[in-house]
Amino acid sequence: MTAKLTVLYATPEDPTAFEKHYLEVHMPLIPSLPGLQRAEAARFLPGPDGNPPPLYRIAELWFADTAAIQAALGSEQGAKVAADYAQIAPAGSQILIAEVDDLG
């Protein structure tokens, strides 16, 4: 069953510095994760009521199954990604793993 690793980033103290590192250093590490099928990243915007979002960014990494996620995380490239995440992730950020329901 398809699975994804979702990273929810809390709002950083310095969004400009975070964006620079995230886009120029962190995200270029992602495509070489073994078994990665698809990757998406987005920055949250204010809601319909204009209020700021409770989180800053989301990244979703898609794999064939949870075993493929674990293999990617256990790889040399996965260790590099994890080390960089630990360096840049603001307090309150979360990593979640989920099996994807096929609704179509």
Q: What is the pTM of this model?
A: 0.92
Structure confidence at residue 50 as a pLDDT band (50, 70, 90): very high
Residue 56 lies in a domain: no
Structure confidence at residue 76 as a pLDDT band (50, 70, 90): very high
Residue 57 lies in a domain: no
Q: Residue 39 is part of a domain; what is its CATH number?
A: 3.30.70.100
**Which domain range does residue 94 map to?**
3-50+63-99
Amino acid at 103: L
Pair 99, 67: CB distance under 8 Å: no
| Sheet with 57-63, edge to edge strand ranges | 38-43, 57-63, 3-9, 94-99
Residue 21 lies in a domain: yes
Q: With 90 as the cut, is the pLDDT of residue 103 above it?
A: no
Number of domains into which the chain is organized:
1
Residue 104 lies in a domain: no
> Exposed, middle or buried, 26 (CB in 10 Å: 0-12/13-18/19+)?
buried
How far, rounded to the nearest angstrom, does the alpha carbon of residue 45 sit from its chain's CA centroid?
Answer: 17
